[in-house]
Amino acid sequence: MAVKTITLIVTLCIVLIISACSGSKKYFKAAEKLEKQGLVNEAADYYLESLQRKPTNVEARIKLREVGQKYVSSMASEFFRNFNTQQTEASIESFERMKEFTSRTSLLNVNLDYPKSYEEDYNKAIENLCARNYAEATAFVNQRKFSEALERINRYKKYNANYKNTAQLEITSICEPLYQSVVSALEVKNYASAERLLQAIQAKSESYKDSKDLKSLVNLQLQKSFMLFEPMKSEEKEIEDLLFNNFNQYAVQNLSNIQVINNTPFLYLPEVNDVSSVGNVDLIQAIRKATGTDYFYVFNVSNRKEQNLGPYKTPAKCFEEVRVKKNDTLIVTEYRPTDYNQYKSQRVYSYDFQYKLINAYTNQIISSQSSPIQAQDMVEYNELVLGRQVTGAAQPNINNFFPYNPVNTAILQQFNPRKWRQLFTTKRDLKPFGTLKSEADREAQDIFKNSINKFMK
């Protein structure tokens, strides 16, 4: 029977034994079986596992020192043989296995020895590995075989990423094929593909060749442009002028991929009030050809309203808690009914906002909307009806008032009066129309932002 087959059978038996009970003793017994079969390497690993599970296991410690040293000596011999026969990768692998095993045993205070001169030989092997693969990678780059160059770089990079000119060699191996693809994409005016490739280049190196300048060029080619119009005749010219300036300012400051084209001398587009109509197609095409505009954005404002609603007053009853002295020893709590008024008031500023976004090349409306824009403020407060007050008299403590009579109201119908009491001290003044106008205009600007960002592609 072949040695490999015997090793496999023994190992499977050991695994079955250990799976039944994974304690230190079971690993120790498994290690003994492996050792008797002459499988020293495997036995050393099991002795190590046994000691890790129980560091006080003296037998495992003794056997690990004995069998582990044989294992280390075996790996040291393997390293010596590979190193001296110029099998660089194999020698490095042998040394690293030996180093890893001795490091693990050292943590358990079991120190195993190997010739310290091998450390120097290992470093030489690393140097040889780097030198050979670096030379091959350089040659492949010169031959424009970039994938082969990267494969060589990856062989030694984990040992010395700063070896000679490795950083630049890797950048060239990654970026140059991408750069050549960019050139090909630009030749056929595939700017979207060129942009993706340039992003990949700049993720590795922001200064590779003229990729930064090419990125700017591609962005210009991909950049969409639009021209903003407002209606020629409108009853809400003041609002439209303000929105026109706000829209332009936002686009210039925030839209890096969209260019705003000045609409002078083309100040208006006919039929703007009809959201479902493109308008004068011939005029649209004439403006497009003259300015190179991709999209037209037209809007109007109508039906502006300013409304003051209220104040509406509703009389109501509440109850004041009062302590009454009946005699020298008796004080009782009474709840006296008191009149108060509930006030509600509202201020509303509103208008209708319409827009449409037109594709200048196809004369199609790609987005349109008619939206009610509204900003409002509402106040609600309570006020006690106190009658004639003496000048300088103290105001009643609102915490002594209840919206119900605690004596006559069932427990389940009673509630915390804190919010009701707050209505006696809450604000009573409505926001001015100037503030509401600003809020409404911001709502219209949000519609503009969303339509531009969503549909202008």
Q: Above 70 in pLDDT, residue 422?
A: yes
At 448 the pLDDT is 93
29-33, 225-229, 415-419: range with lowest mean pLDDT: 225-229
Per-residue pLDDT averaged across 27-38, rounded? 92
Measure the CA angle with vertex 187, ends 184 and 191; round to 5°. Answer: 85
Q: Above 70 in pLDDT, residue 229?
A: yes
Instruction: Name the residue type at position 291.
Output: T
202-206, 218-222, 260-264: range with lowest mean pLDDT: 260-264
Based on the number of CB atoms within 10 Å of its own CB, is 301 exposed (0-12), middle (13-18) or buried (19 or more)?
Answer: buried
pLDDT one-digit tens code per residue, 317-330: 999 999 998 888 88
At 393 the pLDDT is 61
The DSSP-derived string for 386-416 is --S--TTPPPP-GGGEESS-TTTS-GGG---
At 125 the pLDDT is 95
pLDDT one-digit tens code per residue, 355-409: 999 888 888 888 989 999 999 999 999 999 986 655 556 778 999 999 999 999 9
**Separation of alpha carbons 244 and 237, rounded Å:** 10
Per-residue pLDDT averaged across 112-140, rounded? 94
Q: What is the 3-state secondary structure (H, E, C) of 63-109?
A: HHHHHHHHHHHHHHHHHHHHHHCCCHHHHHHHHHHHHHHHHHHHHCC
Per-residue pLDDT averaged across 230-252, rounded? 85
Per-residue pLDDT averaged across 77-106, rounded? 94
At 424 the pLDDT is 95
At 275 the pLDDT is 55
Instruction: State how far the alpha carbon of 313 is from the alpha carbons of 256, 279, 320, 381, in Å.
Output: 53, 51, 21, 10
Is residue 243 within 8 A of residue 301, CB to CB? The reply is: yes
**Separation of alpha carbons 64 and 69, rounded Å:** 8
At 235 the pLDDT is 81
Average pLDDT for the chain: 88
Domain ranges in the chain?
3-115, 129-222, 228-386+396-455
Q: In DSSP terms, which residues pair with 357 in a beta bridge? A: 297, 367
**Separation of alpha carbons 82 and 94, rounded Å:** 8
Q: At what angle do helices 58-84 and 117-142 cross, to 10 degrees?
A: 50
At 270 the pLDDT is 56
Torsions phi, psi for 418 (to 5 deg): -55, -50
Band of pLDDT at residue 455, cut at 50, 70 and 90: confident
- Cβ neighbors of 84 (< 8 A, separation 6 or more) are none
3-115 and 129-222 in the same fold: yes
Q: Which one, of 141, 239, 178, lies nearest residue 440 by Cα?
A: 239
* Count of helices and strands (H, E) across the chain: 14, 6
Q: Which one, of 198, 206, 208, lies nearest residue 173 by Cα?
A: 208
193-215 burial, b at 16+ Cβ within 10 Å, e below that, comes to: bbbebbebbbeebeebeebeebb
Check whether domain 3-115 has CATH 1.25.40, yes or no: yes
Q: How much is the pTM?
A: 0.56
Q: Above 50 in pLDDT, residue 3?
A: no
Q: Above 50 in pLDDT, residue 19?
A: no
Q: Which one, of 169, 121, 126, lies nearest residue 149 by Cα?
A: 169
pLDDT one-digit tens code per residue, 209-224: 999 999 988 887 887 8
**Separation of alpha carbons 324 and 420, rounded Å:** 25
Is residue 446 within 8 A of residue 245, CB to CB? The reply is: no
Q: Above 60 in pLDDT, residue 297?
A: yes
pLDDT one-digit tens code per residue, 52-68: 999 999 999 999 999 99
Q: Above 90 in pLDDT, residue 283?
A: no
Pick the most confident of 258-262, 346-350, 363-367.
Answer: 346-350
Q: Above 80 in pLDDT, residue 5?
A: no
Query: Residues, the chain, total?
Result: 457
- Cβ neighbors of 412 (< 8 A, separation 6 or more) are none
Q: Above 90 in pLDDT, residue 277?
A: no
Question: Which CATH number is correct for 129-222, 1.20.120, 3.30.230, 2.60.120, 1.25.40?
Answer: 1.25.40
**Separation of alpha carbons 64 and 84, rounded Å:** 29
Q: Which DSSP letter does residue 360 get?
A: T
- The residue written with tokens 């009573």 in the block is 428
Torsions phi, psi for 400 (to 5 deg): -95, 0
At 271 the pLDDT is 55
Instruction: State how far the alpha carbon of 439 is from the alpha carbons of 259, 376, 379, 414, 435, in Å.
Output: 27, 9, 17, 40, 6
**Is the four-CA dihedral 185, 189, 190, 196 of positive or negative sign?**
positive
At 266 the pLDDT is 64
